[in-house]
Structure 1
Amino acid sequence: MSVGQEKGLEDQSDDRNLPLSDVRVLDLTGSYAGPTATMLLADMGASVVKVEDPHGDDTRRWGPPFVNGASTWFLSANRNKRGVCLDLKTSEGAEALQRLLAASDVLITSFNPSKLDRLGLAPDEVTQRHPDLVYCLISGFGLDGPDSALSGYDLIAQARSGLMSVTGASPDSPQRVSTALSDSVAGLVASFAIACAVYHQRRTGHGDVVDISLLDSALFLMAPRVAAFLAGAEEPRPCGATDSVLTPYQSFATKDRPIVVAAGNDMMWRRLCSALGDDQLAADPELATTAGRQRNRPRVVATVAEHLRRRPATEWLARFAELGVPSSAIHTLTEVVNDPQLEYRESIIKADHPIAGPTEMVGPPWRLRSHPSRDIRLPAPGLGEHTGEVLAELNPDT
């Protein structure tokens, strides 16, 4: 029996075999990083109660598109949760929040430090009252340091981590990776760290404080580039769809559409030369190693590009697949959602939402042999949809 069950919050999981089915999570997050973290925990079976103020999570208004008034941003990060609406500025709302907190194993919040202080939810204050609680804060810049009070967004994290400085076609046109990259990574990192902290909690009876920032998460994506720079490499520059070390490892034009080719090692380079039918290229000793191809990058790229322009993409991709050369067309989302591999693995999952109706979204990026079902247990909640139900479960003497 979990801490949450002992304190009066019922298990709403439909499958007790999921790894986190006895973990109770109180979700005080908004926008995207925090909801992603709690959704991943919920996908693993955790009972997640999402608390919103009467204004609701900002992502409820992110759009278009809206499906029958429901934001697809909100739907994509809030499945398998129950929703509670509380006005924390009132004594009733604050009291209900404390009861929910006492019934939880994990608290995850994305409030800024000043708001945490006003609500009595600062880490030291909460963990002193609940020493067995796992407390997680997701913020722009972390719990401490000179910029800890600043607001953080994905764009800011991508810029400040150096990610944008190496993304794009040239130094004059730095590019943001066009998705909520640092938010999604921060959510993944937070869910992993929380799961580890819960494991420690169950072994020792002690909670922990998990400090996750968008900046640290974006910086983690830059780890190989930072390591190379600190080891003496030159300041990296944007290099389009190429790689700083491997050659060729980039996009190329074919007769009809662009593809990518990844010669990740010397064997794959020889296979590529064979697929191109270029024995002279394969026999060149200056190109036999990764370092040699890097030194001769312009010649390598120009020669491969000349070959690839002669035939359509489907012919090259079939030949590369036959010879074991990693390659792919650059898919549009129309092609992504109809990809036979993704369809077979049910990577896009479906839910019947009471407001939006039948909806589709990206599922969790893992598979469990012990639990092969990909079904959504609960669609993303309406604002305050489960308030009465959840509060009625709490032990009034808690």
Structure 2
Amino acid sequence: MTEALSGIKVLDLTRVLAGPLCTMVLGDLGAEVIKIEAPGGSDDTRTWGPPFKNEVSAYYLCANRNKKSLTVNLKSEEGKEIIRNLINECDVLIHNFKTGTMERLGLDYESLSNINKGLVYCSITGFGETGPYKHLPGYDYIIQAMCGLMSITGDSESGPQKVGVAITDILTGLYACVGIQAALIEKSKSGTGQKLDISLFDAGVSSLVNIASNYLMSEKIPGLLGNVHANIVPYQTFDTSNGKMVIAIGNDRQFEKFTHIIGSESLITDPLFINNAKRVENRDLLIPILQQALGAKPTEYWQELCNENGIPCGPINNLEKVFQNEQVLVREMVIEKEHPEAGKIKLVGSPLKLSKTPVQVKQHPPLPGEHTNEILKGLGYTEDQIIEYKNKNIV
């Protein structure tokens, strides 16, 4: 079966999450991805845990399927020569070394594009390759703090909070994936590649979307938003008689239906709540009224009524409930794969559902250097050379 990115070859010099997530998505779509690590394995996430299964980290498994592994010592001239030889047959190179590292190694865009003029070269850094912060390291947690995301996440009791996953890493990886595919399309027209400068900080700022737009228009600094929406009411968590749930009313028509469901029809004509702008203005008056009504019945009761009437809502599920959910299972968002050390492993499936070129998971997250011999032989290295390089810790 043909895959969407079949024939595209990616050299992956990334580790941790943003870069590996990007290259995993490209691999899921059919690209051949070669993951480069130092001899013995140098992706930090291989040691991040617990949990481990037979010493294999769950964190590493989350972003490294559909890749081959080649170990190379980039500090050696022979190792750098291996990379240059691979560049001849690659469409994409992606790295997430700090700004200036690839230049010091002689593996910068200008040098490698002289070897392969069609190379799409993607740099992922904390703050980008320009500006006063360009040399600073950037981890997701720091970026969430500095980009403003934490200033609106949490409430007055909790104080500023980070998102529960490394969201700026995830967004950066997806932006890089989009940019790489756009550059590949442009290359198909011009015949030449280009460099992409993608940063976690830029992705973090972009994640502020409507909150950023609100500030840029009003110049009012938003506070901690907790579980409420800045521009829509009611759009938040509510206590029910047996737990919590989210009600997300997106327009006045839905609000009218909702008032009938909870038996508070008089709210429809109340001038304080007659439209969304008024409800936002008077949320402190409206929310206690809604909370009193919703607190009288269990979550399941309200969920059934809301679903029947087209009112967006949902329970707050823990991960056990998520991965037992029929919708998750039907959508193949849990998959199983055999791993040479961990045995049978479960992975989160791909959200990309393509009718003609569906995602295929063909390769387990690789062991360090699992494909070193195969790849080097494909480049013309002999068995004796490979043995010598291994003995010298070059591969």
Tell me if both proteins adopt one fold, taking TM over 0.5 as the criterion: yes
Where in structure 2 are the equivalents of 1:107-256 lying within 5 Å? 107-170=93-156, 173-256=159-242
Contact 2:99 2:128 in 1 (8 A): no
Deviation at 1:120, TM superposition (A): 0.6
- 1:79 matched to which residue of 2? 65
Deviation at 1:225, TM superposition (A): 1.1
User: Aligned equivalents of 2:18 and 2:56: distance in 1?
Assistant: 19
- 1:41 matched to which residue of 2? 26
Contact 2:87 2:115 in 1 (8 A): no
Q: Secondary structure at the match of 1:218?
A: helix
Deviation at 1:255, TM superposition (A): 0.2
Deviation at 1:312, TM superposition (A): 0.7
Q: 1:360 aligned to 2:324?
A: no
Contact 2:30 2:360 in 1 (8 A): no
User: Aligned equivalents of 2:28 and 2:360: distance in 1?
Assistant: 10
Contact 1:252 1:261 in 2 (8 A): yes
Contact 1:259 1:327 in 2 (8 A): yes
Provide closer, same or farther for how the CA distance between residues 211 and 171 of structure 1 changes in structure 2, counting only shifts above 3 A: farther
Contact 2:179 2:196 in 1 (8 A): yes
Question: Of 275, 278, 301, which aligns to 2:264?
Answer: 278
User: Aligned equivalents of 2:142 and 2:221: distance in 1?
Assistant: 21
With 117-126 and 80-89 compared, the bigger mean Cα shift is at: 117-126
Q: Secondary structure at the match of 2:196?
A: strand
Where in structure 2 are the equivalents of 1:296-307 lying within 5 Å? 296-307=282-293
Deviation at 1:172, TM superposition (A): 6.9
Deviation at 1:375, TM superposition (A): 4.3
Q: CA RMSD in A?
A: 1.4
User: Aligned equivalents of 2:232 and 2:219: distance in 1?
Assistant: 15
Question: Of 277, 280, 283, which aligns to 1:291?
Answer: 277
Deviation at 1:171, TM superposition (A): 8.3
User: Aligned equivalents of 2:261 and 2:352: distance in 1?
Assistant: 33
- 1:349 matched to which residue of 2? 335
Q: Secondary structure at the match of 1:287?
A: coil
Deviation at 1:130, TM superposition (A): 2.6
User: Aligned equivalents of 2:196 and 2:254: distance in 1?
Assistant: 42
Q: Secondary structure at the match of 1:48?
A: strand
Q: Taking structure 2 as the reference length, what is the TM-score of the superposition?
A: 0.93
User: Aligned equivalents of 1:381 and 1:107: distance in 2?
Assistant: 19
Q: Taking structure 1 as the reference length, what is the TM-score of the superposition?
A: 0.93
- 1:8 matched to which residue of 2? none
Task: Report % sequence identity.
Answer: 38
Q: Deviations over 1:42-93 (max 9, x none)?
A: 0110000001002421110111111111111111100000000111122221
User: Aligned equivalents of 1:283 and 1:233: distance in 2?
Assistant: 33
User: Aligned equivalents of 1:285 and 1:270: distance in 2?
Assistant: 14
List structure 1 segments (4+ residues) > 3 angstroms apart after TM superposition. Answer: none
Q: Secondary structure at the match of 2:272?
A: helix
User: Aligned equivalents of 1:187 and 1:214: distance in 2?
Assistant: 9
Contact 2:14 2:95 in 1 (8 A): yes
User: Aligned equivalents of 1:310 and 1:329: distance in 2?
Assistant: 16
Contact 1:165 1:171 in 2 (8 A): no
User: Aligned equivalents of 2:181 and 2:364: distance in 1?
Assistant: 23
User: Aligned equivalents of 2:380 and 2:354: distance in 1?
Assistant: 34
User: Aligned equivalents of 2:311 and 2:59: distance in 1?
Assistant: 36
Deviation at 1:199, TM superposition (A): 0.9
- 2:386 matched to which residue of 1? none
Contact 1:271 1:323 in 2 (8 A): yes
Q: Deviations over 1:348-396 (max 9, x none)?
A: 2221111111111222221001134x54100000000000101111257
User: Aligned equivalents of 2:360 and 2:342: distance in 1?
Assistant: 17
With 244-253 and 339-348 compared, the bigger mean Cα shift is at: 339-348
User: Aligned equivalents of 1:271 and 1:350: distance in 2?
Assistant: 43
Question: Of 230, 240, 251, which aligns to 1:265?
Answer: 251
Q: 1:28 aligned to 2:13?
A: yes
With 185-194 and 355-364 compared, the bigger mean Cα shift is at: 355-364
User: Aligned equivalents of 1:171 and 1:139: distance in 2?
Assistant: 34
Equivalent residue letter for 1:18: E
Q: How many correspondences in the alignment?
A: 380
Structure 2 gap ranges (5+): 382-395
Contact 2:256 2:265 in 1 (8 A): no
User: Aligned equivalents of 2:209 and 2:165: distance in 1?
Assistant: 20
Structure 1 gap ranges (5+): 1-14
- 1:317 matched to which residue of 2? 303
Q: Deviations over 1:282-328 (max 9, x none)?
A: 22233121101011101111111000110011111001111111000
Provide closer, same or farther for how the CA distance between residues 182 and 234 of structure 1 changes in structure 2, counting only shifts above 3 A: same
Q: Secondary structure at the match of 2:180?
A: helix
Contact 1:127 1:133 in 2 (8 A): yes
